[in-house]
Structure 1
Amino acid sequence: MSANVTAAAATAGPTYAQIFGPVFWGFCVALMLCGVSALQGYLYFTRYNDKIGVRFVAAMMLTLDFLSMALICQSMYYYMLPHFGSFAPLDAVTKELVVECLISAVITFTSQMYFVYQLHMVKSPGTTAAVMNASVFVLGMIGLAGAIGCVWVMFLYPHSIFMHRNHTFAILAGIAKGFGAGADIVATIAMCMFLKSANTGITRTSSLLKSLMHLVINRGLLVTAAQILLLITFFATSGHLYWLAVHINTTKLYVNTFFGMLNARTSLQDKYATGHMSLSAETSASANSRRRSTAVNTALTNGDRKAGDLDAQDYALSAIRVPTASMVSEI
């Protein structure tokens, strides 16, 4: 008899805990990341007075993040509490989760397109910059189209998402995540190329550029890794919900890296600013940028290395902080 029980257990499918356990822990991580988003948003709106367009995008990202978290909470309640121990709720995807997927697509696309905006405002010369900028836009648009297609399939065939995955849904999900990761990779490479080309050879300015490049690379690596991990778990573990745990956190990573780069301006100012130029002084920075550039050239021409170093540092902060620190006030 014991042998029969062992054989039956070996042939049985995954348990309730094995199915919902990863989703539960992913939900816990998402709650923490949402709290970090709230803190990041509070720090941004209390410290900076950027242009209205920048503040609007920041407010939209934060609002969508909170709405996404509320929809995830409702879905978690539905799947885990009313029918605890039963797999019956997995027969269909909830409307709340469908809407959350749409919000996730909007947040991802917005973050990627803001990188396109930054690259465009940099106005880097040459065909390469224009091609890379257009590539990010095209890849982002294809990723968004794939994500919208996923949402449409989830709406039409809610019973073919978890238990018996719709083939069209799987293809569209692969397109959305694959092209989304591609857009993040190209955007990161393009921004790093600009930072490298902007190097003046002055020690403190080079250090500033290196710090900015680290921010961009870290952001790119984080969101790209999340997209790739989502792809792997989606196709390699189709019998489990590991991919859902990654999905609900990917949106939070985009929002957190968005605000993280915005708020990084304070630490960069404290580390590199000389005290007579504020990173948030939008009007004065715009008016003085060309004067500072002239002063740098004059100082270097006359051999005043120290003065040139200080002015070049401030000029770098005013000239490149927008494209590299995610939407700073001058643009």
Structure 2
Amino acid sequence: MSSSTQALIPHLHLGSTFGALFIGVTFAAILFGLSNVQAFVYFQTHKGTGISFYKLAVAWLWIIDALHLFLIVHCIYYYLVTHYADIDALIGIVWSFKLQIVTNVLIVYGVQLLYFHRICIVAKGRSKVPPIVVGVVVISAGGWFVIWYPSSLDLDFFSPSGVAIVIIWAIYQCHVFSDLIKMEWATFMACGTITLVDFVIASSLCYLLAISRTGFSSTDSMLTKLMVYVINTGCLTSICSLSVIITCATMPQNFIFLGIEFLVAKLYVNSFIALLNAPHYLQSAAETNTSTEVHMRHGIYRPELNVMVSQDEGLQGSHENMSKHPGDDVVHLLDLPRQAAA
């Protein structure tokens, strides 16, 4: 047994190391199940629109998400089953752990680019500032890190995907888990960049929704609900990324930050597909509320004269025509996949 292995044995606490990874995989599997539901709802609500860009994007996200789950499950199986109690195997980094970092990067930056594409479509005819700001942040965020660490990385290029390249490069320089402590700066910068881009994307979407208000209460109410959703999902992914930074900085000797990192990609997939399904959810809720209101009106006994009943029915019919789809303006604004396919 090597000296490095002997030195690691007294400090190896399975509960806070591979136990934390196991818990992270469990929650990641739950989130993958939710993404399956979201993808099913999306394809069901758009089954008559043919092949579109967003259908291919959802399919691609689902495939990469499934691959990510397979890799982290293999990682846990390798350490806790195949090489159970094998200390020499436990201190080394298996190939599936490294590859899951690559899939994680593909998911996060892929979703951010999809958000950017969506902002460009929503901003058309409204404002040119949000897509420009988001585009600059998403494209230049990668290059900042390459400039800040030129001597340590020996990279002489400025790339839009610089952070992604740095993360992949850093993880493949690690051969044992103790090497991850030396590369913790990569974790800090990656999660910090993710949080920054999330903030810019959420702010831009909320701004575009705010300037799209029409003055009609039903439409503005649906826009407000969507703004709340965008803020909540942006905060959720940002909190997860910040949790990785905090746990890595305060507890670098255990794997709690890695267990949380398993969830970042799953949250991104769920949040984006749920945003694509938002028009369906909002329209269904609006139609349910309208149907309930109409049934309540018909259930009220009114002993007026016939002429008054006729007038009331005429007004009611006019109201029903006006509020048949109270969220049509919002749905037309938000249902971008169908617009893109048209």
- Name the aligned partner's letter for residue 16 of structure 2: Q
- Name the aligned partner's letter for residue 156 of structure 1: Q
Q: Distance in 2 between matches of 1:18 and 1:312?
A: 52
Contact 1:102 1:148 in 2 (8 A): no
1:26-51 deviation line (CA, Å, top 9, x unaligned): 11111111122222222222221455
Residue matched to 1:36: 34
Residue matched to 1:295: none
Give the superposition deviation at 1:127: 5.8
Contact 1:147 1:173 in 2 (8 A): no
Give the superposition deviation at 1:97: 1.3
Residue matched to 1:88: 88
Output the TM-score relative to the length of structure 1: 0.77
Residue matched to 2:108: 108
Residue matched to 1:250: 264
Match 2:202 to one of 176, 180, 188: 188
Q: Distance in 1 between matches of 2:273 and 2:253?
A: 35
- Name the aligned partner's letter for residue 215 of structure 1: Y
Match 1:207 to one of 221, 224, 232: 221
Q: Distance in 2 between matches of 1:242 and 1:205?
A: 44
Q: What SS does structure 1 have at the residue aligned with 2:253?
A: coil
Q: Distance in 1 between matches of 2:337 and 2:286?
A: 16
Q: Distance in 2 between matches of 1:89 and 1:126?
A: 55
- Name the aligned partner's letter for residue 43 of structure 2: F
Residue matched to 1:24: 22
Residue matched to 2:13: 15
Alignment of 1:128-167 (within 5 A): 128-138=129-139, 141-142=142-143, 144-159=161-176, 162-165=177-180, 167=182
How has the CA–CA distance of structure 1 residues 18 and 133 changed in structure 2, closer, same or farther, with 3 Å as cutoff?
closer
Residue matched to 2:72: 72
Residue matched to 1:241: 255
Q: Paired residues, what number?
A: 285
Shifted more, 84-93 versus 22-31: the winner is 84-93
Give the superposition deviation at 1:191: 0.6
- Name the aligned partner's letter for residue 132 of structure 1: V
Give the superposition deviation at 1:104: 0.6
Give the superposition deviation at 1:315: 2.5
Q: Distance in 1 between matches of 2:128 and 2:273?
A: 31
Larger radius of gyration: 2
1:221-249 deviation line (CA, Å, top 9, x unaligned): 11111111111112221100001111111
Runs of 4+ residues deviating >6 angstroms: 304-312
Shifted more, 59-68 versus 254-263: the winner is 254-263
Give the superposition deviation at 1:311: 7.9
Residue matched to 1:321: 334
1:72-128 deviation line (CA, Å, top 9, x unaligned): 111101111233345433432111111111111011011111111111112265564
Q: What SS does structure 1 have at the residue aligned with 2:172?
A: helix
Percent identity reads 22
How has the CA–CA distance of structure 1 residues 188 and 206 changed in structure 2, closer, same or farther, with 3 Å as cutoff?
same
Q: Distance in 1 between matches of 2:231 and 2:327?
A: 21
Alignment of 1:114-133 (within 5 A): 114-121=114-121, 122-123=123-124, 125-126=126-127, 128-133=129-134
Q: Distance in 1 between matches of 2:338 and 2:140?
A: 27
Q: Distance in 2 between matches of 1:240 and 1:274?
A: 49
Shifted more, 100-109 versus 47-56: the winner is 47-56
Contact 2:52 2:337 in 1 (8 A): no
Residue matched to 1:177: 191
Match 1:225 to one of 239, 243, 252: 239
Q: Distance in 2 between matches of 1:173 and 1:244?
A: 10
Q: What SS does structure 2 have at the residue aligned with 1:239?
A: coil
Shifted more, 261-270 versus 217-226: the winner is 261-270
Residue matched to 1:59: 59
1:230-274 deviation line (CA, Å, top 9, x unaligned): 111122211000011111111111111122222232221123369
**1:261 is aligned to 2:275:** yes
Structure 2 portions without partners, runs of 5+: 1-9, 146-160, 290-317
Contact 2:286 2:326 in 1 (8 A): no
Give the superposition deviation at 1:211: 1.4
How has the CA–CA distance of structure 1 residues 18 and 127 changed in structure 2, closer, same or farther, with 3 Å as cutoff?
closer
- Name the aligned partner's letter for residue 134 of structure 2: N
Q: Distance in 2 between matches of 1:104 and 1:139?
A: 20
Residue matched to 1:296: none
Q: Distance in 1 between matches of 2:113 and 2:66?
A: 21
Output the TM-score relative to the length of structure 2: 0.75
Structure 1 portions without partners, runs of 5+: 1-11, 276-303
Contact 1:205 1:312 in 2 (8 A): yes
Q: Distance in 2 between matches of 1:178 and 1:259?
A: 23
